[in-house]
């Protein structure tokens, strides 16, 4: 096949081809999770800015006492991150199961924390502080449930483990951020 | 307009057919509603937003929430049988409610539950009818010029304020009652409740600003009893 | 940079009809589904606009048959003010979300982005399928709002709180209908986030051997940048919708301040901020404008060189401009809020980036015009629509100068001038991009050619028609004609009614011209002449495979790319004046 | 085909521009002290944008006319734009850049003059209540003081649009509430915008002023009218079914007429 002669300006130089074996290539799934992390961060950033605006819009911000159970839940989630990492590095399936169990316990603990707050008479519509508390914890719990689904999926397709682990660690980081935010707001 | 006229004929016809009711003795309660105390200030309604309506009223219109007449009489008081009703036949004639000159005509319409209600727009522009019902289902509909009348009815007894959001001064009441026996006082504060079989009745007078009053009336046969009410007016 | 990982990505071709055509994970089927959805949506949206325009021209004349369709909203065929506003809200929402976002971005992007990068499918085919079905569900939820008891929503596509947040007391359409609106938009956000994730991952990871970023076709660049914008924008709108839903159904007060009295009822809310909704909405809303128009930029930049038979002028400049627009699009949202009650000083601050963003837009326009210079311009329906795109984009873009300045916006804000501006720049221009893309890619998508004669008639009638519809709206705006009015009762608006009638007639005429397109589209799908693999003599990878492409796009042999997408205009040495990207070195 | 395109684009561009230039539909006469600056800014923008519009459309038309081929057969060699993309970048950046600088510099002064300056010290203060779907205006009355506003007392049914409490609040008793904005000519006016229910907007085209009402906020707005007459105030922020019909009249009166009007209204209280 003959090639036409082209004006030089239109030629694009060939891309430098990356030699294979230059370190582990991030899998597509991991790229996806990174993009997902960016999106989720953006959503929570938007909610955080909404919180800041809402807090300054009226002097009706009342402080709620966070149930101490939250700190136990935090430990559970951080521990689950640890067990997952152990499972990933040592290829120990038991670690994965432990992570699943800890994750489920975390969600159950969050639900229990809501019930504790409810028992104090603090509900979603009680005030802006409680509204944001329930909103943040519920959205985070939903994302954690999604992560649990991912971990179940990994049982079938081990190739996705790294991506699932990335997401799971992000869940722990996100929770720590939310906990600091909520504690600071209700200090 | 033709539709309305037809409806009127229909109503008259129904009334005529229903008239020879088989009632051995029917009494009547009539009376007058007056007030004591200080009336709220009568305010002129500023309709300048809707020039169509300004031109319809050669003299300025005043607020209708406390309309009084000669001898301290009070208009737009609903007088009705609140207890002792003996299961009279349901009112089937259609209640008409008009929007004309950016006012509700009549200001207060009394009706029985399930009684047909027809709402007309006689103005050359759109109104919205917003009955602020709590017990019944609330609704809010526009009725542009040229739209057919709204036909509806109410399921539960309730005093329903009616407003037009497009013309915030427009305000009226649908007084939905369990009884077919009700009347709205006229410009002289007078009313009459007819077709009452013998029995003991509680008659109640209700006014949107001056509150509620009741009294007992016993009807022995084909007689007319008088029941007068004196309501207390407050300036604010 | 990574190449050639596409081999394992297309799942095997499924056997059942449902799996192949309905619940398919094939990006080409999903792309077609998106386009079909957009077609249904655009016809709906256009019919709504016809009814609206008819009402604006002749407000008291009953619309035949409408009394039966909407016995509450239009008793006796006479459209009530609330029904007009509901039509307007649905028109805006359907067009912005379900047409201008789905067709040029999700539709064409899904079909062609994987092929143009040389992949066998999207990075996550199942997520891709989910994205489409959630979009469809969102559309159904939105349309169902037409049939709920207290009427379809009427707060506009911007759904300003507290009108949209306080519920039924605020009037008809503020009950279930408005909640359905918010739920639909939240679902749509989820779908588009999933879609954007796929676009980005595919572009980054699934490019075939030799497909460097510099060799990406312009359309793919545009889709890629659009997905990055979408990722951030929809990630903000979704939580905003959740807050709105909570205010509506759970009694929270994010957007509802204390002491509101609506229809004589004191509202049980306290402390919320109406401006918060506006900030969140426009932080999404302005980038959304670029989500609608940037794919059009890409499509036109890909089509113009094909029919000009010469390379796009300044390809790197073009891509730089796209990136600049993407960045700037996040800094300008406040220009929708100059008069909203926010600090007047911030109006000046928002005005500057708004004006600055016109620089990359102007450069891109000049690049297109410069591309035509010295061309051997071929006229097809596709190239005519691409040229028409340039014209309407110029018209729509320039009116932005008036609205970007707070001082002139004082007068023009909230008038038909704004309607004219955004219809030209994001409605009509984006539609022209969609039309150009359809005439251009139809042979590849369906293996059949569209009828060129009908296509050209469609162009001429549409091109003249849209100018007759939208240019006069500038004049209305200058005369102070307020938008979103269901009738013009104000004295100073009476002299403008003849102009409204002219617009109405032009709109009905332009709408009727779209029937030619619909006819052409449906007929060509079944009766059009068989399309060759590369009917337009174009260079990008989709033209190297068969029409329509096989299930895995390249018959199991992913192409190796040795050329850029822009190699047109060769003079000698061979029978062709272009070099395809998959041609050997 | 190219020639047809060129002709159509040229006709569209010239006719559209001519209608702008002839002011066939144009702004109503300005009646405010600040409006002339807005008008000048708008006119200057119109001239610059008009030139860019016509130039861009004509360039497009000319190139399409000049470089179109009837069929695919013509084998004329293609030419690159002289200098490549650089002149385009320079042209766009310089032209648009200068325009932006000028418009921002001049325009932000105009904006600041309306929205970032304090009202004149002797401004007549009027409170505005916007509600679905009407405007109401309140003057302080003879005591010069506005009564407090109580949302729980606001009622259209009782014509208490501002939620005044005359029973307990003596300053509220003489407040004058009307449905038209009546103002004296050449007197600085300071409006305090309140919204009772949802967002509304204050727009008087002749006054060249527009501002949203936001529930929960009191937004000041000031201007001075220069020509007596009757004008229309309309709502420009979607507020519900009656949005199209939400208006009030603005009556600009001479000083003497205004004083007379105010006296009559005060007497009626």
Asked if residue D77 belongs to a domain, the reply is no
Domain C20-256+274-544 grouped into CATH 1.20.210.10: yes
Report how far residue C279's alpha carbon sits from residue A19's, in angstroms, rounded to the nearest whole number: 47
Contact C273 A57 (CB under 8 A): yes
Asked if residue A18 belongs to a domain, the reply is no
Asked if residue A52 belongs to a domain, the reply is no
Judged against a pLDDT cut of 60, whether residue A21 lies above it is answered with no
Q: What is the DSSP string of C92-111?
A: HHIIIIIITTIIIIIIHHHH
Let me know: does B101 contact B62? Beta carbons within 8 Å: no
In the block, tokens 């249904």 appear at: C40
Q: How many residues does chain A have?
A: 187
The 3-class secondary structure across D183-246, one letter per residue, is: EECCCEEEEEEEECCCCEEEEEHHHCEEEEECCCCCEEEEEEECCCEEEEEECCCCCCCCHHHC
Contacts of C62 in chain B (CB under 8 A): 146
Interface test with B, best of C263, C489, C493, C494 (most B CBs within 10 A): C263
> Which among B41, B163, B160 has a CA at the least distance from the CA of B102?
B163
Report how far residue C497's alpha carbon sits from residue C468's, in angstroms, rounded to the nearest whole number: 15
Q: Which domain holds residue A73?
A: 66-187
Cβ-based neighbours of D105, under 8 Å, separated by 6 or more: none
Cβ-based neighbours of D82, under 8 Å, separated by 6 or more: none
| CB neighbourhood size of C72 (10 A) | 15
pLDDT at res. C572 = 53
The partner residue sitting opposite B165, judged by closest CB among D135, D167, D242, is D242
Calculate mean pLDDT across residues C143-169.
93
> Which among D109, D96, D110 has a CA at the least distance from the CA of C356?
D96
Report phi then psi at B141, rounded to 5.
Answer: -135, 145
DSSP 8-state class, residue B149: P
* Torsion of the alpha carbons at B10, B12, B13 and B17, rounded to the nearest 10: 140
pLDDT at res. C295 = 97
pLDDT at res. D95 = 85
Rg of chain D over Cα atoms, rounded to whole angstroms, equals 27
Strands (E), chain A: none
Let me know: does A5 contact A136? Beta carbons within 8 Å: no
| Peptide bond before residue D133 is cis, with ω within 30 degrees of 0 | yes
Judged against a pLDDT cut of 60, whether residue C282 lies above it is answered with yes
Angle at C227 between CA C225 and CA C232, to 5 degrees: 105
Is residue D103 located within the same domain as residue D195?
no
Interface test with A, best of C273, C280, C574 (most A CBs within 10 A): C273
Domain ranges of chain B: 24-233
Per-residue pLDDT band for A25 (boundaries 50, 70, 90) equals very low
Q: Which domain holds residue D170?
A: 124-267
CA dist C90 → A98, C83, C153, C155, C291 (Å): 49, 10, 8, 10, 20
Report how far residue A78's alpha carbon sits from residue A106's, in angstroms, rounded to the nearest whole number: 10
> Which among B109, B8, B77 has a CA at the least distance from the CA of B228?
B77
- How distant is the alpha carbon of residue C475 from its chain centre? 25
Judged against a pLDDT cut of 50, whether residue A150 lies above it is answered with yes
Residue A53: closest CA among chain C residues belongs to which residue? C276
Contact D196 C490 (CB under 8 A): no
Angle at C115 between CA C366 and CA C554, to 5 degrees: 140
Asked if residue D15 belongs to a domain, the reply is yes
In the block, tokens 């009700």 appear at: B182
* Torsion of the alpha carbons at C508, C509, C514 and C519, rounded to the nearest 10: 110
Tokens of C317: 């400049």
CATH of the domain at A105: 1.20.120.80
pLDDT at res. C573 = 56
Asked if residue A43 belongs to a domain, the reply is no
> Which among C574, C546, C102, C370 has a CA at the least distance from the CA of D67?
C370
Interface test with C, best of B144, B162, B170 (most C CBs within 10 A): B144
Strands (E), D92-164: 124-131, 134-139
Asked if residue A32 belongs to a domain, the reply is no
In the block, tokens 């009030």 appear at: D248
In the block, tokens 């499509």 appear at: C299
Residue B161: closest CA among chain C residues belongs to which residue? C264
Per-residue pLDDT band for A24 (boundaries 50, 70, 90) equals very low
> Which among C142, C101, C167, B65 has a CA at the least distance from the CA of D240?
C167
In the block, tokens 């659009």 appear at: C226
Cβ-based neighbours of A176, under 8 Å, separated by 6 or more: A74, A78
Per-residue pLDDT band for A154 (boundaries 50, 70, 90) equals confident
pLDDT, one tens digit for every residue, chain B (236 residues) = 444 444 444 444 444 444 444 555 688 999 999 999 998 888 889 999 999 899 999 998 998 888 999 999 999 999 999 988 877 788 889 999 999 999 999 999 999 999 999 999 999 999 999 999 999 999 999 999 888 999 999 999 999 999 999 999 999 999 999 999 999 999 999 999 998 988 999 999 999 999 999 999 999 888 899 999 999 998 87
Per-residue pLDDT band for A16 (boundaries 50, 70, 90) equals very low
- With 0-12 / 13-18 / 19 or more C-beta atoms within 10 angstroms meaning exposed / middle / buried, residue D236 is buried
CA dist C173 → A173, C84, C301 (Å): 42, 11, 42
Judged against a pLDDT cut of 70, whether residue A139 lies above it is answered with yes
Contacts of C83 in chain B (CB under 8 A): 142
Per-residue pLDDT band for C3 (boundaries 50, 70, 90) equals very low
pLDDT at res. D75 = 63
Q: What is the DSSP string of C61-89?
A: SPPTTHHHH-TTTTGGGPPPHHHHHHHHH
CATH of the domain at D231: 2.60.40.420
Query: pLDDT for C430-459, tens place per residue?
Result: 999 999 999 999 999 999 999 999 999 999
Judged against a pLDDT cut of 80, whether residue C239 lies above it is answered with yes
Tokens of A120: 């104090």
Query: pLDDT for C389-438, tens place per residue?
Result: 999 999 999 999 999 999 999 999 999 999 999 999 999 999 999 999 99
Let me know: does C375 contact C368? Beta carbons within 8 Å: no
Tokens of C23: 């619940």
Judged against a pLDDT cut of 60, whether residue C238 lies above it is answered with yes
Is residue D137 located within the same domain as residue D263?
yes
Contact A57 D216 (CB under 8 A): yes
pLDDT at res. B12 = 43
Per-residue pLDDT band for A26 (boundaries 50, 70, 90) equals low
Asked if residue D152 belongs to a domain, the reply is yes
pLDDT at res. A1 = 36
Contacts of A57 in chain D (CB under 8 A): 216
Q: Which helix (H) or strand (E) holds C367?
A: helix C358-372
- CB of C78 within 8 Å of a chain B CB? The answer is yes
Contact D84 A58 (CB under 8 A): no
| CB neighbourhood size of B62 (10 A) | 13
Contact A9 D84 (CB under 8 A): yes
pLDDT at res. A17 = 38
Touching partners of C (3+ C-beta pairs < 8 Å): A, B, D
Domain total for chain D? 2
pTM over 0.90, yes/no: yes
Distance from first CA to last CA of chain D, Å, rounded? 75
Calculate mean pLDDT across residues A68-75.
95
Helix, strand or coil for residue D113? helix
pLDDT at res. C157 = 96
Asked if residue A115 belongs to a domain, the reply is yes
Distance from first CA to last CA of chain A, Å, rounded? 74
Asked if residue D75 belongs to a domain, the reply is no
Domain total for chain A? 1
Tokens of C239: 């939580």
Is residue D96 located within the same domain as residue D214?
no
Is residue D246 located within the same domain as residue D128?
yes
Tokens of C442: 């139809």
- CB of A57 within 8 Å of a chain D CB? The answer is yes
Let me know: does C413 contact D210? Beta carbons within 8 Å: yes
pLDDT at res. C405 = 93
Judged against a pLDDT cut of 80, whether residue A90 lies above it is answered with yes
pLDDT at res. A13 = 43
DSSP 8-state class, residue B40: P
Query: What percentage of chain C has pLDDT greater than the value 70?
Result: 97
Tokens of C196: 């954007």
Domain B24-233 grouped into CATH 2.60.40.420: yes
pLDDT at res. D139 = 95
pLDDT averages per 10-residue partition of chain D, 269 residues: 94 96 95 94 94 96 89 68 90 88 87 89 95 95 91 90 91 92 96 96 96 95 96 96 95 96 88
* B228/chain C closest Cα distance in angstroms: 33
Is residue D99 located within the same domain as residue D219?
no
Interface test with D, best of B103, B165, B174, B207 (most D CBs within 10 A): B165
Report how far residue A11's alpha carbon sits from residue B24's, in angstroms, rounded to the nearest whole number: 109
Let me know: does B84 contact B200? Beta carbons within 8 Å: yes
DSSP 8-state class, residue C222: H
Q: Which helix (H) or strand (E) holds B114?
A: none
- Strand D247-253, strand D181-184: pairing: parallel
């Amino acid at each position: 096949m003959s090639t036409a002669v082209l004006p030089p300006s239109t030629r694009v130089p060939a891309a430098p081809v990356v030699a294979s074996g230059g370190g582990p290539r991030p899998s597509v799934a991991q790229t996806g999770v990174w993009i997902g992390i960016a999106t989720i961060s953006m959503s929570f950033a938007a909610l955080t800015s909404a919180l800041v605006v809402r807090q300054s819009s009226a002097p009706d911000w009342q402080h709620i006492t966070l149930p101490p159970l939250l700190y136990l839940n935090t430990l559970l989630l951080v521990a689950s991150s640890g067990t997952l990492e152990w499972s990933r590095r040592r290829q120990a399936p038991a670690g994965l199961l432990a992570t699943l169990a800890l994750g489920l316990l975390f969600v159950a603990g969050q639900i229990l924390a809501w019930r504790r707050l409810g028992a104090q008479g603090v509900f979603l519509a009680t005030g802006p502080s409680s509204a944001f508390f329930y909103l943040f914890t519920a959205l985070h719990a939903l994302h954690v449930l999604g992560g649990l689904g991912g971990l179940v999926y990994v049982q079938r397709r081990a190739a996705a483990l790294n991506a699932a682990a990335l997401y799971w660690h992000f869940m722990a980081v996100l929770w720590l951020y939310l906990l600091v935010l909520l504690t600071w707001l209700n200090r | 307009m033709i539709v309305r006229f037809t409806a009127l004929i229909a109503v008259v016809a129904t009334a005529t057919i229903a008239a020879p009711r088989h009632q051995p003795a029917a009494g009547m309660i009539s009376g007058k509603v007056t007030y004591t105390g200080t009336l709220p200030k009568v305010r002129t309604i500023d309709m300048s937003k809707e020039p169509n309506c300004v031109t319809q009223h050669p003299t300025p219109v005043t607020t209708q929430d406390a309309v009084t007449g000669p001898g301290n009489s009070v208009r737009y008081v609903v007088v009705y049988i609140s207890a002792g009703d003996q299961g009279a036949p349901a009112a089937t004639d259609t209640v008409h409610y008009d929007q004309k000159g950016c006012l509700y005509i009549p200001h207060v319409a009394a009706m029985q539950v399930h009684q047909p209600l027809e709402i007309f727009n006689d103005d050359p522009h759109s109104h919205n009818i917003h009955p602020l019902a709590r017990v019944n289902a609330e609704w809010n509909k526009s009725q542009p010029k040229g739209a057919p009348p709204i036909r509806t009815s109410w399921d539960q007894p309730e005093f329903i304020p009616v407003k037009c959001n497009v013309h915030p001064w427009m305000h009226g009441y649908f007084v939905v009652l369990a009884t077919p026996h009700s009347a709205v006082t006229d410009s002289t504060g007078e009313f009459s409740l007819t077709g009452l079989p013998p029995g003991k009745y509680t008659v109640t007078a209700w006014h949107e600003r001056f509150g509620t009053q009741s009294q007992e009336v016993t009807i022995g046969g084909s007689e007319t009893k008088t029941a007068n009410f004196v309501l207390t007016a407050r300036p604010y | 940079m990574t190449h050639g990982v596409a081999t394992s990505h297309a799942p095997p071709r499924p056997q059942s009809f449902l799996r192949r055509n309905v619940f398919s994970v094939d990006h080409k089927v999903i792309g077609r589904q998106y386009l079909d959805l957009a077609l249904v949506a655009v016809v709906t949206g256009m019919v709504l606009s016809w009814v609206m325009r008819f009402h604006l021209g002749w407000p008291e004349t009953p619309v035949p048959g409408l009394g039966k369709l909407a016995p509450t909203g239009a008793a006796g065929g006479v459209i009530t003010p609330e029904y007009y506003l509901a039509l307007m809200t649905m028109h805006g929402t359907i067009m912005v979300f379900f047409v201008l976002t789905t067709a040029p971005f999700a539709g064409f992007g899904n079909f062609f982005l994987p092929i143009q990068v040389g992949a066998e499918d999207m990075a996550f085919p199942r997520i891709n399928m989910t994205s489409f079905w959630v979009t469809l569900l969102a559309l159904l939820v939105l349309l169902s709002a037409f049939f709920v008891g207290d009427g379809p929503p009427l707060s506009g596509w911007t759904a300003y709180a507290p009108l949209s947040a306080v519920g039924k007391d605020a009037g008809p359409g503020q009950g279930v209908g408005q909640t359905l609106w918010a739920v639909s938009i939240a679902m749509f956000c989820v779908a588009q986030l999933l879609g954007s994730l796929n676009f980005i991952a595919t572009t980054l990871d699934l490019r075939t051997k030799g497909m460097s970023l510099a060799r990406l076709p312009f359309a793919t660049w545009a889709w890629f940048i659009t997905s990055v914008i979408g990722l951030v924008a929809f990630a903000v709108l979704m939580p905003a919708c959740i807050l709105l839903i909570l205010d509506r159904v759970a009694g929270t007060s994010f957007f509802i301040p204390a002491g509101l009295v609506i229809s004589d009822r004191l509202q049980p809310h306290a402390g919320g901020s109406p401006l918060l909704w506006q900030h969140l909405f426009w932080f999404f809303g302005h980038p959304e404008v670029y989500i609608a128009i940037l794919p059009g930029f890409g499509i036109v930049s890909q089509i113009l060189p094909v029919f000009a038979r010469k390379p796009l002028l300044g390809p790197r400049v073009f891509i730089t401009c796209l990136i600049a627009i993407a960045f700037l699009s996040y800094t300008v949202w406040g220009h929708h809020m100059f008069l909203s009650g926010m600090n007047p000083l911030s109006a000046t601050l928002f005005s500057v980036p708004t004006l600055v963003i016109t620089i990359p837009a102007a450069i891109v326009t000049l690049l297109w015009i410069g591309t035509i210079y010295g061309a051997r311009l071929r006229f097809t329906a596709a190239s005519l629509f691409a040229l028409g795109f340039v014209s309407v984009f110029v018209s729509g873009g320039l009116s932005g100068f008036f609205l970007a300045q707070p001082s002139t916006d004082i007068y023009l804000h909230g008038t038909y001038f704004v309607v004219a501006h955004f219809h030209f720049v994001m409605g009509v221009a984006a539609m022209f991009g969609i039309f150009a893309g359809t005439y251009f890619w139809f042979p590849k998508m369906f293996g059949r050619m569209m009828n060129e004669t009908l296509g050209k008639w469609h162009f001429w009638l549409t091109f003249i028609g849209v100018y007759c519809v939208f240019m006069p709206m500038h004049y209305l705006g200058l005369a102070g004609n307020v938008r979103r009015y269901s009738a013009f009762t104000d004295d100073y608006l009476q002299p403008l009614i003849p102009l409204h009638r002219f617009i109405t007639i032009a709109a009905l005429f332009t709408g009727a011209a779209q029937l030619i397109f619909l006819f052409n589209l449906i007929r060509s799908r079944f009766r059009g002449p068989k399309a060759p693999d590369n009917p337009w003599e174009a260079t990008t990878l989709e033209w190297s495979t068969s029409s329509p492409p096989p299930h895995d796009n390249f018959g199991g042999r992913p192409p190796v790319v040795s050329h850029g997408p822009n190699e047109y205009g060769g003079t000698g040495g061979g029978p062709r004046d272009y070099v395809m990207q998959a041609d050997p070195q | 085909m190219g020639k047809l395109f060129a002709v159509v684009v040229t006709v569209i561009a010239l006719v559209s521009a001519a209608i702008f230039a002839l002011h066939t539909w144009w702004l109503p006469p300005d009646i405010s002290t600040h409006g002339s600056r807005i008008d000048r800014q708008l006119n200057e923008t119109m001239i610059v944008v008009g030139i860019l519009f016509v130039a861009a459309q004509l360039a497009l038309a000319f190139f399409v006319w000049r470089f179109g081929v009837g069929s695919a057969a013509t084998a004329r060699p293609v030419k690159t734009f002289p200098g490549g993309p650089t002149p385009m970048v320079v042209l766009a950046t310089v032209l648009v850049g200068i325009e932006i600088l000028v418009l921002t510099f001049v325009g932000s002064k105009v904006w600041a003059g309306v929205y970032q300056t304090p009202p004149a010290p002797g401004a007549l203060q009027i409170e505005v209540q916007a509600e679905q779907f009407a405007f109401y205006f309140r003057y302080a009355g003879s005591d010069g003081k506005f009564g407090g506003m109580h949302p729980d007392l606001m009622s259209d049914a009782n014509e208490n649009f501002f939620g005044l409490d005359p029973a307990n609040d003596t300053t509220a008793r003489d407040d004058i509430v009307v449905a038209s904005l009546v103002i004296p000519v050449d007197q600085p006016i300071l409006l305090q915008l309140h919204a009772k229910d949802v967002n509304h907007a204050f727009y008087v085209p002749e006054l060249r002023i527009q501002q949203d009402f936001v529930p929960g906020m009191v937004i000041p707005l000031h201007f001075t009218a220069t020509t007596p007459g009757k004008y229309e105030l309309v709502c420009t922020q979607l507020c519900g079914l009656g949005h199209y019909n939400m208006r009030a009249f603005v009556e600009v009166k001479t000083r003497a007429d205004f004083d007379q009007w105010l006296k009559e209204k005060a007497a009626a209280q």
